[in-house]
Structure 1
């Protein structure tokens, strides 16, 4: 019983500590956003790394998500002779949920892990301390550009994932399953609303803030050398992915 309570206490303390670290990482990054010097090159470098660097995996994920979704919907809807709704339901599912969530999870695996590993390595090799000794604020130089880039790039990548997912569902539904293309598109246009798209983009922006804040916050807390870098990277990816799913539910409950 004593060990159980000790374990629960340890986990509770760690959860509270990490929550504080992540919150203040984001808060301090926002405070430094409007204070000079403004390091535009670092912002551009992060835009390229998170945005363009993740483009291929997002395209691949979006395309095959749309394709398999159309196939599964066709199998289910054909039992009720409602095949004509495959396009509309696929588009709504992709824009509301699958596009932003799956894109965020894939970007987390690629860019979020890299953020945690890079900042963790800088921390254990005392490069962060070197920045402070040169009067360079580590949060402003390392964290703020990453959070801003993630906040802007996640929605843009979600748009790409939505487009490729809808295109993939169209190819499977029309060219492989034989659904009438006019009916397919007509139902999609009639039933998909602007709010479906904008809600997905809002989710993507929130996911971007979560992933970057978690990855940077945990990365800057790294210790114990190379082993610590590995642990921080794993923790950042797992926690970011979990928070994405939790935030997805909360945002869905608020917006719909």
Structure 2
């Protein structure tokens, strides 16, 4: 365990060494940003709208009492979406989409000896392959979380229009009532940490792959599983510290 942790830390140190040619690394960061951000926008949008709608309907069902103002459902749905659903569920989905892609891409380069070729040419392979992915993940995942929050709240409003369990006016009153900017800060901190976890763990699994196609698939699976576990653990720690 400690040996693996040492290799992980060493790989991160190598990844963030001073680049040989900044323009090459910058171009790679931009390419990864497009791949992670634009490529994940569709799945994040669909998930966010449906989760926001489902959350609002379930909260309305649980608060079906004449003694409780239905505007509270909007407030609960808003805070749940901002604090938990958008950052955490988005990160778990992105661990499957982005993380598996990172692990399989780097793992394939390892087993086909492309990484060895980079090192022979004097290129810092961890820096060229891993640091752009980490930087892009820590930049784009918070943006995706902001979009997810917006669409999640919008999905709740759509559910109010369609189901009629809560009037749209009550929902909007609840969304605006008692808003605390700290919840947005917590969501963004979670998103940055989750982005680092996904990219670094999956890159580590891919970089130390050995064997053939079967081992690449196993590394990809391990990367996704370990990332999901660490995301849930980090979610608990950040929530406890910041709230």
Matched ranges for 1:46-65 at <5 A: 46-65=32-51
Q: Which residue of 2 aligns with 1:30?
A: 16
The answer to whether structure 1 residue 224 and structure 2 residue 208 are counterparts is: no
Q: Which residue of 2 aligns with 1:185?
A: 172
- 1:178 Cα deviation after fit: 4.6
Please give the alpha-carbon distance, in whole angstroms, between the structure 2 residues aligned to 1:24 and 1:207: 20
User: 234, 238, 242: which is aligned to 1:251?
Assistant: 238
The answer to whether structure 1 residue 17 and structure 2 residue 3 are counterparts is: yes
Q: Is the 8 A contact 1:122 1:128 kept in 2?
A: yes
Please give the alpha-carbon distance, in whole angstroms, between the structure 2 residues aligned to 1:57 and 1:129: 35
User: 55, 69, 85: which is aligned to 2:72?
Assistant: 85
- 1:84 Cα deviation after fit: 1.7
The alignment covers a number of residue pairs equal to 240
Alignment gaps of 5+ in structure 1 = 1-14
After the TM superposition, list the runs of 4 or more consecutive aligned residues in structure 1 that deviate by more than 4 angstroms: none
Please give the alpha-carbon distance, in whole angstroms, between the structure 2 residues aligned to 1:233 and 1:55: 22
User: 222, 225, 240: which is aligned to 1:238?
Assistant: 225
Please give the alpha-carbon distance, in whole angstroms, between the structure 2 residues aligned to 1:149 and 1:116: 15
Please give the alpha-carbon distance, in whole angstroms, between the structure 2 residues aligned to 1:106 and 1:128: 28
Aligned partner of residue 78 in structure 1, secondary structure: coil
Please give the alpha-carbon distance, in whole angstroms, between the structure 2 residues aligned to 1:159 and 1:105: 16
Aligned partner of residue 191 in structure 1, secondary structure: coil
Kindly provide the CA deviation profile for residues 85-124 of structure 1, in whole angstroms up to 9, marking residues without a partner as x: 1111111001111100011111111111000000000001
Please give the alpha-carbon distance, in whole angstroms, between the structure 1 residues aligned to 2:76 and 2:83: 10
User: 26, 31, 41: which is aligned to 1:45?
Assistant: 31
Please give the alpha-carbon distance, in whole angstroms, between the structure 2 residues aligned to 1:245 and 1:19: 19
Kindly provide the CA deviation profile for residues 23-71 of structure 1, in whole angstroms up to 9, marking residues without a partner as x: 3333332334xx3411221111100111100000100111111011011
Please give the alpha-carbon distance, in whole angstroms, between the structure 2 residues aligned to 1:252 and 1:45: 32
Please give the alpha-carbon distance, in whole angstroms, between the structure 2 residues aligned to 1:132 and 1:242: 32
TM-score by length of 1: 0.89
The answer to whether structure 1 residue 176 and structure 2 residue 176 are counterparts is: no
Aligned-residue Cα RMSD (Å) equals 1.4
Q: Is the 8 A contact 1:123 1:220 kept in 2?
A: yes
TM-score by length of 2: 0.94
Aligned partner of residue 240 in structure 1, secondary structure: helix
